[in-house]
Amino acid sequence: MVERGARVAEKGGMPAFPHYQPAHRQRLQAISRSDEWQPLIDQVDLAELRAAVAPPPAQPAQQSAASTFLIRHNGPRVRKLIDEGVTDEDQLVAALGDWQTAVADGGPMPIVFLGLAVTMDCSFEPRCVYCNQPWLPGRLDLADWKALLTEAAAPTPPYVYITGGEPLILGPDVWGDDGLVAFAVKLGCAVNINTNAALITPQIALQMTKIGLARLHVSLDCADPRLQDELLQSPGRTEEVLAGIYNVQIARELLGVDHPQIHVNCVLTSRNILELPKLLRFLLDIRQSRPTGSTGEVTGEQLTWGEFAFHLIPVGGEGNARLRPSVEQWKRFYARTWPAAEEIWQDYQAAAGVAADDRKPLTRTLGVAASPFLRVDHRMDLDEYCRLAAGGEYWRGALSERCYVAGCQAFILPDGAQHWCGGHAVCRPTPLGNVREAGLRDNIRANITRLGETPTDACAGCAGVTCVINQSAASALREEVRKWLGQGK
Ligand code: SF4
Ligand code: SF4
């Protein structure tokens, strides 16, 4: 009888998992010899599969796309104003950031971010305790979604964010050879799937890797399986989530690539906010420490590749008020929890052999999208922030005077309703239109005057990362105006 490990070796080598901690390496090797993986490994031709892997396309420059477009289209007009003697900086910045004038020439507008909520159904029933996704019927089929992608991808392919509900319940329509992800990748789009990971079988993990999926955002809120099961409202669910993550790690190893990279979405509630250091320690124990194929001394840059970067998402929705962290918990989070997590991260880098002067802070690496207060400039001190956060207002002090990014992104719900962004897709003010009746860019153009009114009350749930991009666009516009004003002196 051939030993299972030996059979894997015959098929192209026992996965070595060289960049994992020993305990997790052994766990992954044991899983790859299990009844779930072994028949699949026996069945597929790994060499053929490796040759068929599509590399994920590069992500567009979301950070600078809006300001670049606005400066290109409004710049000549603003410089003329300066030549005519206008020196009011705020007036000039407002003119430079005016989407209405920028799109008036009818030229192609870039869409750099396209969110697709492909279903509001979910495989988790009962739902997670904090789930605040209002249900909607699915009215778009695969052909409709593909048509949207085709429209969005010209002239430049956007970053495509597939979410739900749980997108993977749509099966091959999402991950098949003729599904949404493969189609978007062929158009040149970097694609991310937001998932609870529980449906990621070995076969699906291999398939998603083969078709060039760039990233998975997996929901994981804490390291304690008992508490996590409580948050997911079902005993044993945490194990299913972790099994999905491990299947992805095995698939990547078998195919010798680093995609899809895994990020963690952690919803911050009163029950897990102070548990972050334990979650980070757990993630560091199971993460691939550096990219496949990297050898020699570990550098800070290698170690901080994005694997298991984590996104802290303060619990949203009025119905979840009971789950919000208190003022005291928020204060404790910033005074003790975050520094404790930082210490764990520094120790991890030291233990990996990264030189002291090459070690990076958590806020600039795995935690870059994590700390709601530290990641964005707020027009308030920490005490005031904690008071507002306890009331469910996380971003009020971080919103820019005007939204610059919404003009070059779109978020589509399963019934075809188009919103400016993910924040609006949850609270659902009047949509821009419906993609079953008009094109993506037509809907944006038809509503472009409304951008001058943003931020509105519906912007209270703006994603933190969007606040960062908006702030960066605002400063790029101001910098440009200052440069031109300086040149005019
Ligand atoms: S996995 Fe997502 S969509 Fe499903 S119940 Fe949980 S939060 Fe809601
Ligand atoms: S929530 Fe408001 S400010 Fe944020 S991206 Fe959407 S429209 Fe812009």
Structure confidence by residue, pLDDT tens digits, 258-277: 999 999 999 999 999 999 99
Structure confidence by residue, pLDDT tens digits, 381-404: 999 999 999 999 888 888 888 899
**DSSP code at position 326:** P
**Of 377 and 57, more confident:** 57
pTM of the full structure: 0.94
For residue 272, with 0-12 CB atoms within 10 Å meaning exposed, 13-18 middle and 19 or more buried, which class applies?
Answer: buried
pLDDT for residue 4 is more than 50: no
Q: Is 459 in the pocket of ligand 2 (CB under 6 A)?
A: yes
pLDDT for residue 102 is more than 50: yes
Q: How far is the CA of 464 from the centre of ligand 1 (A)?
A: 20
CA dist list (Å): 418 to 132, 410, 421, 441, 443: 19, 7, 9, 10, 8
Packing angle between helix 237-255 and helix 276-286, nearest 10 degrees?
30
Determine the pLDDT at residue 488: 63
pLDDT for residue 86 is more than 50: yes
Give the confidence band of 61 by pLDDT, cuts at 50, 70, 90. confident
Determine the pLDDT at residue 199: 98
The share of the chain scoring above pLDDT 90, in percent, equals 78
Q: What is the mean pLDDT of residues 97-110?
A: 87
Give the confidence band of 220 by pLDDT, cuts at 50, 70, 90. very high
Packing angle between helix 22-32 and helix 276-286, nearest 10 degrees?
60
Determine the pLDDT at residue 155: 86
Give the confidence band of 363 by pLDDT, cuts at 50, 70, 90. confident
The atom of ligand 1 lying closest to the CA of 120 is 3
Q: Average pLDDT, whole number, for the chain?
A: 92
Q: Is 316 in the pocket of ligand 1 (CB under 6 A)?
A: no
Give the confidence band of 489 by pLDDT, cuts at 50, 70, 90. low
Determine the pLDDT at residue 403: 92
Determine the pLDDT at residue 296: 84
Domain extent listing, the chain: 54-60+108-398
Give the confidence band of 234 by pLDDT, cuts at 50, 70, 90. very high
Write the DSSP string, 51-104. HHPPPPPPPP-HHHHHHHHHHHHHHHHHHHHHHTT---HHHHHHHHT-HHHHTT
Query: 54-60+108-398, superfamily in CATH?
Result: Aldolase class I (3.20.20.70)
Structure confidence by residue, pLDDT tens digits, 33-44: 999 999 999 999
pLDDT for residue 464 is more than 70: yes
Q: Is 127 in the pocket of ligand 1 (CB under 6 A)?
A: yes
Q: Is 420 in the pocket of ligand 2 (CB under 6 A)?
A: yes
Give the strands of the sheet with 261-268, arranged side by side. Answer: 310-314, 261-268, 215-219, 191-195, 159-163, 113-117, 409-412, 417-419, 433-434
Q: Is 244 in the pocket of ligand 1 (CB under 6 A)?
A: no
